Amino acid sequence: MSGKDANPSHLFTSLIYSLADLRVRGHGFDPKCGGAPGIAFLTEAKQMAKAASSLEGLLSVSQGSLSVGAASLAQTPSEEAGGRGPHPPRPPPGRTRHTVHLQTQQEVKMRMTGMAVHVVRTGGFLALYNGLSASLARQMTYSLTRFAIYETLRDYMSTDSKRPLPFYSKVLLGGASGLIGGFVGTPADLVNVRMQNDVKLPLEQRRNYAHALDGLYRVAREEGLKRLFSGATMASSRGALVTVGQLSCYDQAKQLVLGTGILPDNIVTHLVASFIAGGCATLLCQPLDVLKTRLMNSRGEYQGVFHCFTETAKLGPLAFFKGLFPAGIRLVPHTVLTFVFLEQLRKHFGIKVLT
């Protein structure tokens, strides 16, 4: 590589080191967590950075996974605040068969801002980043897979036609790549949901996973490998919808914005297109997100997806859109940051995408 090409590799390295450093300072040397998880995470991050700087043939894949990994830093505090809340009172005997405490599942007792304040007061500012290792593990499986498939096939198909793909092709491609990515990322997603909702359980029922790898190991050991893919149907379906909303809609929105001739291909265009994509993704995936979260956090009270659907429907149509605003607060900034990082990486590496 020439000296000019060396800078992007340094960008990869510094980005991963920053993520690792935040994780280590936030959790690795906390007496409650112990030093080993943080040190292991830092060692793994250094290995990832070393590999990223040497694998020039996987630039598109690396860009997609790194951009969503960096964006997850902004996602985690809002996701943590949106998913937490004080433990609600138990219902009278016989009134309901089960109680689910997620914001997307039952009535919210505290607004998102109040939840964020509650988390900071009880656990400190870094408590907003609880579950960061699980969030990164999910992005490195789920998003790595869907970005790799979508970007590779889109570039291959558009190169042959020498023009942008029609929107329906982008939708089909996004749906297929998201379906596969959702299945691959289900184990990490399961641990992510459990870690961020552990605080709402009574002390004797909390799982207390130390980090993502500990969670994956314990689920496989205590509940069996099959349990790791609990909710895989919903996770894959949601992955298809959110990928259509993010990747397909982003490409189409960017193409339409550039087509007006008002804005050039700069960061303002990327912000506008990614904001539209984030809104589309939130609306598309929220109903399935509610069902997926119910299934993943259940303790056997649902017999299947259809049973979960019917139980949720009993609460009314709006029950499928519970927590829509917090979901938007989480997903829209995540989408915006993902594509802003991605476009900057493309610019530094000189990668052109037909629009």
Written as six digits, the tokens of 148 are 């790799």
Regions of the chain short of the pLDDT cut 50: 1-13, 15-20, 22-42, 45, 48-49, 51-59, 82-109
Distance of CA 40 to the CA centre of its chain: 22
Q: Exposed (0-12), middle (13-18) or buried (19+): which is 254, by Cβ within 10 Å?
A: buried
Residue (of 126, 8, 124) closest to 66 by Cα position: 8
Q: Domains of the chain by range and CATH?
A: 55-349 (1.50.40.10)
Question: Distance between CA atoms of 295 and 306, rounded to whole angstroms?
Answer: 11
Whether the CB-CB separation of 284 and 242 falls below 8 Å is answered with: yes
Q: Exposed (0-12), middle (13-18) or buried (19+): which is 260, by Cβ within 10 Å?
A: exposed
SS3 of residue 351 by DSSP: coil
What distances in angstroms separate CA 100 from CA 128, 190, 287, one per listed residue? Answer: 22, 16, 16
Q: What is the DSSP string of 177-202?
A: HHHHHHHHTHHHHHHHHHHHHGGGS-
CB atoms within 10 A of CB 92: 7
| Range 165-172, long-range pairs (CB < 8 A, 24+ positions) | 165/251, 167/248, 167/252, 170/247, 170/248, 170/251, 170/252, 171/244, 171/248
Whether the CB-CB separation of 20 and 38 falls below 8 Å is answered with: no
42-76 pLDDT, tens per residue? Answer: 455 455 445 444 444 444 555 555 566 555 555 55
- Residue 132: its pLDDT value, please? 84
Question: Distance between CA atoms of 270 and 250, rounded to whole angstroms?
Answer: 9
Whether the CB-CB separation of 151 and 213 falls below 8 Å is answered with: no
Does the predicted TM-score (pTM) go above 0.85?
no
Question: Distance between CA atoms of 175 and 154, rounded to whole angstroms?
Answer: 13
The radius of gyration of the chain's CA atoms, rounded to the nearest angstrom, is 21
Most distant CA pair in the chain, distance: 71
Written as six digits, the tokens of 9 are 């590799």
Strands (DSSP E) found in the chain:
none
Q: What is the DSSP string of 41-83?
A: HHHHHHHHHHHHHH-GGGHHHHHHHHHHHHHHHHHHHHHHHHH
Written as six digits, the tokens of 282 are 């939130």
- Residue 131: its pLDDT value, please? 75
Question: Distance between CA atoms of 283 and 43, rounded to whole angstroms?
Answer: 39
